[in-house]
Structure 1
Amino acid sequence: MNTASAPYPIGTPGAPWGDAERADWLSRQTRQRSYGTEVLSVIERLRPRFDVKEYGRLEYGPDSYPLMALRSRDWNDDLPVVLVTGGVHGYETSGVHGALQFLDQHAADYTGRVNLLVAPCVSPWAYERIHRWNPNAVDPNRSFRDDSPAEESAALMRLVEPVRDHALIHIDLHETTDTDETEFRPALAARDGKPFEPGGIPDGFYLVDDSENSQPEFQQAVIKAVEQVTHIAPADDSGEIFGSPVVARGVIQYPLSQLGLCASVTSAPYRTTTEVYPDSPRATPEQCNAAQAAAVCAAIDYALAHR
């Protein structure tokens, strides 16, 4: 899908946003769903089976959001650690609910085999507003670095620090949506005072490997499992997905640490970022959630078999 768009309604083309433009942007954001009803309530239902921890709290104006993580109840320091994150971009719904579905339906299969640490909704303010950024117009998924400008990212890094060098796997659950092209990329260009260059949205599931520590067989194991649930994104006419060269079926690469991406927060040998396409006429919300859960299972299964 290629989209041409009018100038973004906030700011002056070519000029980065200042405080006034950020305030204008923030004034336009409205709550569209409930983190408490849709996420915290599910975590409460899972509490009898997992250790639940509040690892931080976001204070945004009148709103206060507890940041929640779930851990294996039978945590054993001799077992490898699996980190699952979702909702780093709050609007990417199946990342949140796929992580919770994995815990509910599949986590028991790994009891005594791995330690699970799951942060299902890293950005609850953005979850409620179906947005990519936090209230400061900062993208948490470009902020996983020292002195992070995003408290969402800084809090997750503090949570993960004790297991950072013990993790076997980190799988970060995301979506690519039509609104990436119609709203979020145009907003990013406007915020940074750059021209918006329309692109294409891939129809299907794909993965982002780490170009600095690629694991091609691991990525393909995840792709093979997910294609039993939903379709895999093909390369475009340029051999790319979302502007990046396709290095294997359904796989592109980014330098995770260099870009400050969530999947760089551990030194796990097996790392990947999922990208589900929920706007496809060939996929339902249920399939999207199931695809995320299947990706987590496949990642664990491969890593345990190849330790």
Structure 2
Amino acid sequence: MTTPALYPIGTPGIPWGSAEVAAWLAKQTRHRSYEQDVLSVVDELRSRFDVVEYGRLDYSPDVYPLVAIKSRPWHDELPCMLVTGGVHGYETSGVHGALRFAQEHASAYAGRINLVVAPCISPWAYERIHRWNPHAVDPNRSFRDLSPAGESAALLRLVAEFRDSVLMHIDLHETTDTDESEFRPALAARDGVAHEPDEVPDGFYLVDDSEHPQPAFQQAIIAAVARITHIAPADRHGQIIGSPVVAPGVIEYPLRKLGLCAGITSARYKTTTEVYPDSPQANPEQCIAAQVAAICAAIDFALAHT
């Protein structure tokens, strides 16, 4: 039996305080540029879409404008489709899948939908290839009133004006090997609990809303993505990341109860994508393409079943 290595910050069994958070923050370094990778691409789309700045994150010495792409013109009578990426900044294909969709496919839906794309919810974490914000808070457990995460609070403010008209919301994520090597051990250390190792699913899967499941919607996305990359099988317990597999490549969470991004609207159709970029059967380009295929399949299904 192998005993998991202790996380290098904190004392086992004791939740982090400000000193531990500061020690963790001191270890974070910038690896890439939000301005170059995201904002410059969004700027190129201004001729075709409205670009709104829906908030600013002041993480001194850095300030990050939060931007979303919206249909031009906006027609109140049309269904609204919401695409979000980069809630976890290290999940790269979510950011670039949202941007790729806006660049190459969004115009095909002009006049049929109102589209909102928020491609990078967590720019500080995107630059540092991390899951948390600089306060060691996970934005994807923080989409609730009085949110402790500025990233989550800003998106909630953006969505408030149209949340009840959203028909479909797809939130783009990845599951990576670093979930087990870094992020889940860090979470356990932060919360003062024991880390229980789990398997990293090899392949694409979806998270449906257990409170309002839409199995046909999920399977339409799975079918589209299966043409691009492989679908994650259930583990020996019939589960993916500890949750029962309810259909090929699909598990369920209570999205709103857990404060997850995919639960922020009243959309009939909701899902969270998860690709696996560390698989020997996949590569970064394939993961981006899978995200784009998932978005298109989600919109097409929602339009066909309005």
| Class of the TM-score when normalised by the shorter of the 2 chains | over 0.9
Aligned to 1:65: 64
How far apart, in 1, do the equivalents of 2:135 and 2:241 lie?
26
**CA displacement at 1:46 relative to structure 2:** 1.3
Task: Describe the superposition over 1:143-197 as per-residue Cα deviations: whole angstroms up to 9, x where unpaired.
Answer: 0000000000000000000111000000000000000000000000000000000
Maintained 8 Å contact 1:42/1:100: yes
Aligned residues: 305
Q: Superposed, which structure 2 residues align to 1:119-268 within 5 Å?
A: 119-268=118-267
Q: Superposed, which structure 2 residues align to 1:73-92 within 5 Å?
A: 73-92=72-91
How far apart, in 2, do the equivalents of 1:99 and 1:54 lie?
17
Maintained 8 Å contact 1:211/1:254: yes
Partner secondary structure for residue 102 of structure 1: helix
Q: Which runs of 5+ in 1 are unaligned?
A: none
**CA displacement at 1:47 relative to structure 2:** 1.4
Aligned to 1:281: 280
Aligned to 1:101: 100
Aligned to 2:37: 38
Task: Describe the superposition over 1:246-304 as per-residue Cα deviations: whole angstroms up to 9, x where unpaired.
Answer: 00000000000110000011000000000010111111111111100110100011111
Aligned to 1:290: 289
How far apart, in 2, do the equivalents of 1:13 and 1:106 lie?
49
TM-score by length of 2: 0.99
Maintained 8 Å contact 1:140/1:150: yes
Task: Describe the superposition over 1:199-248 as per-residue Cα deviations: whole angstroms up to 9, x where unpaired.
Answer: 10000000000000000000000000001111100001100011110000
How far apart, in 2, do the equivalents of 1:45 and 1:276 lie?
27
Maintained 8 Å contact 1:5/1:182: no
Partner secondary structure for residue 165 of structure 1: helix
TM-score by length of 1: 0.98
**CA displacement at 1:5 relative to structure 2:** 3.4
How far apart, in 2, do the equivalents of 1:275 and 1:71 lie?
24
AA matched with 2:31: Q
How far apart, in 1, do the equivalents of 2:60 and 2:100 lie?
31
AA matched with 2:20: E
Aligned to 1:271: 270
How far apart, in 2, do the equivalents of 1:183 and 1:4 lie?
16
Partner secondary structure for residue 45 of structure 2: helix
How far apart, in 1, do the equivalents of 2:49 and 2:229 lie?
29
How far apart, in 2, do the equivalents of 1:246 and 1:59 lie?
40
**CA displacement at 1:4 relative to structure 2:** 6.2
**CA displacement at 1:108 relative to structure 2:** 1.3
AA matched with 2:242: G
Partner secondary structure for residue 49 of structure 1: coil
Segments of 4+ in structure 1 off by > 4 A? none
RMSD (Å) for aligned C-alpha atoms = 0.8
Partner secondary structure for residue 97 of structure 1: helix
Partner secondary structure for residue 155 of structure 2: helix
How far apart, in 1, do the equivalents of 2:239 and 2:294 lie?
22
AA matched with 2:63: S
**CA displacement at 1:65 relative to structure 2:** 0.3
How far apart, in 1, do the equivalents of 2:201 and 2:248 lie?
13
Maintained 8 Å contact 1:172/1:273: yes
**Identity rate, percent:** 73
Partner secondary structure for residue 207 of structure 1: strand
AA matched with 1:106: H
How far apart, in 1, do the equivalents of 2:78 and 2:3 lie?
51
Partner secondary structure for residue 68 of structure 1: strand
How far apart, in 2, do the equivalents of 1:26 and 1:65 lie?
17
Q: Superposed, which structure 2 residues align to 1:42-57 within 5 Å?
A: 42-57=41-56
AA matched with 1:280: S
